[in-house]
């Protein structure tokens, strides 16, 4: 038994980690290969597998081939693993709205939705976490799905993206592996909705191509304050095709009108305990209050010449094009203004597929996108139980549609008339139109059939370094803390060492900080890199949340703690000022029934102090008389309310009477400029101005949370 460990030894101690025999592929990826002690990987039919990391393509950068039976079997089995819950993105929440075109793209695409400025098109959006089950909590450290279904006049367009512009893997054949690794470990069925465990970091530490994504997931991007305050990305490179069949490459970005905002990790943990439905409730409340979330759709447009000259391969889904290199062009806006009538019928049954594109939008040869185009249709069949899932209202097009598909489970409509085929002699049924119909861009492809990652995909560290160094010092510290926390939950020392070895290729300071916090006695050697990390990439301020914060408190929430005798004029003044800003104001009191204010009026509470912790609010005001403060100092939850707000760097407005509660919580009234006295109603404007900054990050070093 190891020193310092009491009781039964950990189950992990029985697991030995052997050095694996690794071979580097031509594209820089590491292959674990069978030796005399390792079983040979086979298909489910028993056929030996030569390569489990790359799909079969035409050339190294060409499209994937349907004859790749190993990929199809692997994805097929993965897609059908669970029913009825989604295998990934199981916990989701959705809303209806519309997309309004604000700039014509007729020069670049014949897609009808981009022809007429001012035209509004119905839309449905589903936000989600990736790793957790339907019953998991909202504030997991995780990627967020950002899937948009736009019901265009030429059929449904599904832009199925995330709140992070890159992904863990370069080839779709690895998707089952990364998801298996992050899901609860199969021999114990935990942890739920968490990546802080051995299996996930074992996979990541053996997958250098994941390092850029790891920087994003360990950043505050993975713990957003709300769906309303996060960006969305199409991730892949797509094509726009115009009437002349000319192609322009495009990347899609959704930018929130109310700016970016996240929470800190300690806050996320407490929110999950106080309200595991925090993101759901936030979206519901905002739409019901008429504060409709809005995003601007921006596009990065570029041609083949730029693609050939760019530092990285535009087909590599682990890479992005910095906004400073190609400025995103606003072309439309997305507004969510209506909640579903029934969660199951709409949010749960909605089926997104990357293959759903209107004429004028086409695919690139991104190997992850090619795999998704195969996988999504297959998984909808399993999850919804029938090929007729398009008959469900949430999935049905809102434009006219005609086809000869018939029968099957749950068929709600069938072809009418004699003919259910074409061509036919009866003059019945629809016919294709080569001019108006979808036409794939006629890209010339050549090359040998092979399982190979192109050399242009081999740089796994340079953009990871660019992302990390583009963050503010506060954000860099959060990344280091997140990595330290996650790896501290990894019980296998070799895995921790492998990760620090990768971090040395990203930033030596980051690697050293994590190694020190993990208590490593010596630094491991830097991981062997297929391509040396570049140090000449320009910093990209657009990658930072804090550099792109809002200039308003609109859409945020102020929590006002009140007690007997609270100043009624001050309470009313706070409500008027913050609601005029577009913020929400909620009251927390000793009892949910409310309190009697200083003028004898009654203030109804939205929360009692036990159920309304400060983590639920973006800023707080302590509007207390001495009597009210004395009452609340006896409540541990009231002391936590103040202490947490201070620790999480929130702005705190307070009356003179609140001094006793501040003292009880260990907070000095003059600790920093984030504590704003509210002696008179005239002080409200100064408090609101301070709150527009969202957080006082300078406090974080003093708090050392």
pLDDT digits (tens, 9 = 90+) for 103-128: 999 999 999 999 999 999 999 999 99
Beta strands in 352-485 (DSSP E): 361-363, 449-451
Residue 51 to residue 462: CA distance in whole angstroms: 26
Q: Is 266 helix (H, G, I), strand (E, B) or coil?
A: helix
Which of 64-68, 360-364, 473-477 shows the lowest mean pLDDT across its residues? 64-68
Average pLDDT for residues 81-90, to the nearest whole number? Answer: 82
Q: Where in the chain is the domain with CATH 1.20.1370.20?
A: 458-546
pLDDT value at 185 more than 50? yes
Q: Where in the chain is the domain with CATH 2.40.180.10?
A: 78-391
Question: Taking a C-beta distance cutoff of 8 angstroms, is the pair 467, 544 a contact?
Answer: no
Residue range 518-550, pLDDT digits in tens: 999 999 999 999 999 999 999 999 999 999 989
* Closest to 678 in 3D by CA, of 694, 693, 663, 656: 656
Neighbours of 140 (CB within 10 A): 22
Q: What is the DSSP letter of 126?
A: E
Average pLDDT for residues 273-282, to the nearest whole number? Answer: 97
pLDDT value at 27 more than 80? no
Burial of 578 (0-12, 13-18, 19+ CB in 10 A): buried
- Centroid of chain to Cα 491: 27
pLDDT value at 16 more than 60? no
Q: What is the DSSP letter of 275?
A: -
Residue 143 in tokens: 């990627």
What ranges in 293-338 are assigned the alpha helix state H? Answer: 304-309
- For residue 492, give every residue at least 6 positions away whose Cβ sits within 8 Å of its Cβ, in sequence order, or none: 12, 15, 17, 198, 202
Question: Taking a C-beta distance cutoff of 8 angstroms, is the pair 517, 477 a contact?
Answer: no
Residues across the chain = 705
More confident residue, 585 or 3: 585
Question: Taking a C-beta distance cutoff of 8 angstroms, is the pair 147, 204 a contact?
Answer: no
| Architecture in CATH of 551-703 | 3-Layer(aba) Sandwich (3.40)
* Closest to 326 in 3D by CA, of 347, 312, 338, 337: 312
* Closest to 382 in 3D by CA, of 83, 123, 167: 83
| CA distance to 261, 388, 517, 647, 659, per residue, from 704 (Å) | 21, 55, 14, 8, 23
For residue 584, give the H/E element and its range.
Answer: strand 584-589
Residue 547 in tokens: 């550099």
The CATH number of the structural domain formed by 458-546 is 1.20.1370.20
409 catalytically annotated:
no
pLDDT value at 18 more than 90? no
* Closest to 569 in 3D by CA, of 683, 686, 689, 691: 683
Q: Which fold has domain 78-391?
A: Catalase HpII,  Chain A, domain 1 (2.40.180)
More confident residue, 404 or 586: 586
Residue 680 to residue 233: CA distance in whole angstroms: 45
Catalytic residue among 54, 70, 89, 199: 89
* Closest to 266 in 3D by CA, of 223, 226, 221: 223
Residue 328 to residue 668: CA distance in whole angstroms: 45
Which of 32-46, 92-106, 555-569 shows the lowest mean pLDDT across its residues? 32-46
pLDDT value at 33 more than 70? no
Residue range 49-84, pLDDT digits in tens: 888 889 999 999 999 998 898 898 888 778 877 657
DSSP β-bridge partners for residue 653: 621, 676
| CA distance to 475, 558, 672, 700, per residue, from 696 (Å) | 13, 16, 9, 8
Question: Taking a C-beta distance cutoff of 8 angstroms, is the pair 297, 347 a contact?
Answer: no
Residue 127 to residue 148: CA distance in whole angstroms: 9
For residue 488, give the H/E element and its range.
Answer: helix 473-488
Burial of 142 (0-12, 13-18, 19+ CB in 10 A): buried
Which of 278-292, 552-566, 634-648, 674-688 shows the lowest mean pLDDT across its residues? 674-688
365 catalytically annotated:
no
Tell me what pLDDT residue 496 has: 98
Which of 17-26, 344-353, 418-427, 435-444 shows the lowest mean pLDDT across its residues? 17-26
- Judged by phi (left if over 0) then psi (alpha if -120 to 50, else beta), residue 89 lies in left
Catalytic residue among 162, 199, 365, 373: 162
What's the pLDDT band for 234 if we cut at 50, 70, 90?
very high
- Centroid of chain to Cα 331: 22
Q: Where in the chain is the domain with CATH 3.40.50.880?
A: 551-703
pLDDT value at 100 more than 90? yes
∠ Cα 546 484 194 (to 5°) = 85
Q: What is the mean pLDDT of the chain?
A: 92
pLDDT value at 702 more than 90? no
């Amino acid at each position: 038994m190891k020193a310092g460990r009491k009781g039964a030894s950990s189950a992990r101690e029985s697991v030995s980690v052997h050095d694996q025999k690794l071979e580097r592929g031509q594209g820089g990826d590491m292959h674990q290969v069978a030796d005399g002690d390792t079983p040979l990987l086979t298909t489910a039919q028993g056929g030996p597998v030569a390569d489990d990391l790359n799909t079969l393509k035409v050339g190294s950068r060409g499209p994937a081939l349907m004859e790749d039976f190993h990929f199809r079997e692997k994805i097929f089995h993965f897609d059908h693993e669970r029913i009825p819950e989604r295998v990934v993105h199981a916990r989701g929440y959705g809303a209806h709205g519309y997309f309004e075109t604000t700039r014509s793209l007729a020069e670049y695409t014949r897609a009808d939705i981009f022809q007429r400025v001012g035209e509004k098109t119905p839309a449905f959006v589903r936000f989600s976490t990736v790793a957790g089950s339907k019953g998991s909590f909202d504030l997991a450290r995780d990627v967020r799905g950002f899937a948009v279904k736009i019901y265009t006049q030429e059929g449904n367009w599904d832009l199925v993206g995330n709140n992070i512009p890159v992904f863990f893997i370069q080839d779709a054949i690895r998707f089952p592996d990364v998801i298996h690794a992050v899901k609860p470990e199969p021999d114990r069925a935990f942890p739920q909705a968490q990546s802080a465990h051995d299996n996930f970091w074992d996979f990541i530490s053996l997958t250098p191509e994941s390092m850029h994504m790891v920087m994003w997931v360990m950043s505050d991007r993975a713990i957003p304050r709300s769906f309303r305050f996060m960006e969305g990305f199409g991730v892949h490179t797509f094509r726009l095709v115009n009437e002349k069949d000319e192609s322009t490459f495009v990347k899609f970005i959704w930018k929130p009108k109310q700016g970016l905002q996240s929470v800190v990790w300690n806050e996320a943990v407490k929110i999950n305990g106080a309200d595991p439905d925090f993101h759901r409730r936030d979206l519901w409340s905002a739409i019901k209050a008429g504060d409709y979330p809005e995003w601007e759709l921006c596009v990065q447009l570029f041609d083949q010449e730029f693609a050939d000259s760019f530092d990285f391969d535009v087909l590599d889904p682990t890479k992005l094009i910095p906004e400073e290199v190609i400025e995103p062009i606003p072309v439309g806006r997305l507004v969510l203004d209506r909640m579903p009538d029934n969660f199951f019928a709409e949010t749960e049954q909605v089926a997104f597929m990357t293959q759903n594109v209107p004429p004028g939008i086409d695919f690139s040869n991104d190997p992850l996108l090619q795999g998704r185009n195969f996988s999504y249709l297959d998984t909808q069949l399993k999850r919804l139980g029938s090929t007729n899932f398009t008959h469900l209202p949430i999935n049905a097009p809102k434009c006219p549609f005609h086809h000869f598909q018939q029968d099957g489970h749950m068929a709600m409509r069938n072809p009418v008339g004699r003919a259910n085929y074409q061509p036919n002699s009866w003059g019945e049924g629809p016919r294709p139109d080569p001019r108006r119909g979808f036409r794939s861009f006629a890209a010339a492809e050549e090359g040998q059939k092979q399982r190979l990652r192109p050399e242009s995909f081999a740089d796994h560290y340079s953009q990871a370094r660019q992302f990390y160094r583009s963050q503010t010092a506060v954000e860099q510290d959060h990344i280091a803390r997140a990595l330290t926390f996650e790896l501290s939950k990894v019980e296998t020392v070799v895995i921790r060492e492998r990760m620090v070895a990768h971090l040395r290729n990203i930033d030596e300071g980051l690697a050293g900080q994590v190694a020190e916090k993990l208590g490593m006695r010596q630094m491991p050697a830097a991981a062997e890199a297929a391509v040396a990390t570049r140090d000449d990439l320009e910093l990209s301020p657009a990658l930072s949340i804090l550099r792109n914060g809002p200039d308003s408190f609109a859409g945020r929430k102020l929590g006002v703690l009140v007690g007997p005798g609270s100043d009624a004029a001050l309470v009313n003044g706070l409500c008027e000022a913050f609601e005029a800003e577009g913020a929400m104001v909620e009251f927390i009191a000793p009892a949910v029934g409310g309190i009697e204010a200083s003028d004898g009026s009654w203030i109804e509470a939205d929360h009692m102090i036990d159920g309304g912790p400060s983590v639920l609010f973006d800023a707080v005001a302590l509007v207390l008389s001495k009597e009210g403060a004395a009452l609340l100092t006896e409540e541990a939850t009231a002391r936590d309310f103040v202490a947490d707000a201070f620790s999480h760097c929130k702005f705190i407005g307070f009356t003179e009477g609140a001094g006793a509660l501040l003292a009880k919580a260990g907070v000095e009234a003059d600790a920093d400029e984030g504590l704003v006295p509210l002696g008179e109603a005239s002080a409200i404007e100064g408090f609101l101005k301070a709150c527009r900054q969202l957080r006082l990050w300078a406090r974080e070093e003093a708090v050392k949370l």
